[in-house]
Amino acid sequence: MIKLYGNPYSRANRVRWALEETGQLYEEELVTLDSNGTRSKEFTKINPNSRIPVINDEGLILFESIPICIYIAKKYGAEFLYVKDIKEEGLLLQWSVWAMTELEKYIETASLHMTWYSAPQKDLTIGENAQNEVIRCLNMLESTIKDSGYIVGKKFTIADLIVTEVLTGIVFAKISLDPFPSIRNYLKKNLSRPAATKAFAPDIIEPYLK
């Protein structure tokens, strides 16, 4: 059985969702983001990088959520979460990495400065600049999915799962999805999947299911 180290309010959500999509049995050990959790001596023996999520799959320990999701999709869901064509695989990997290095980065920065920080940390200029970058990313994604409703292969893949999970943080970035109807429908469709409803705490996905 796969062991997942995570918690419901972390990047472990995308890994948990991937596991639910494949139907693999797993158990989750809840790990807090503090000296008793990710920074504890016990946990750093598992992941010296002191971050979640981490999985242990028959002795193989993996950290970093995107590689974990790709690994799960290829090993346990190759027929329905992955692609067979190498060109499609290139696109799948491209958008999965983009979700982390571009979209997620700017959503997090905007969220911190528009929602979570208080003075003196809060800087609306930084927040607004990050919002503009998020909007740039959303325009890219809107154009990509508007015809098929998916990123690659005209079906739901691990790339859609990763991008969708990243987008669940956009409510805190204070950005309306009204100018992006394809993305709004994309989120509702993907987060309505049975595996998604099992994987997420309800308050995380409810804003996108309306």
CATH of the domain at 35: 3.40.30.10
Mean pLDDT over residues 80-88, rounded? 97
* Res 113: pLDDT: 98
Where among 79, 95, 124 does a domain terminate?
79
Name the residue among 135, 136, 148, 131 with its Cα closest to residue 182.
148
Q: What percent of the chain has pLDDT over 70?
A: 100
Give the three-state DSSP class for 101. helix
Residue 152 in contact with residue 12, Cβ under 8 Å? Answer: no
* Res 149: pLDDT: 98
DSSP 52-67: S-EEEETTEEEESHHH
* Res 210: pLDDT: 86
pLDDT for 16-36, tens place per residue?
999 999 999 999 999 999 999
Whether the full predicted model's pTM is greater than 0.95, yes or no, is yes
Where among 51, 79, 107 does a domain terminate?
79
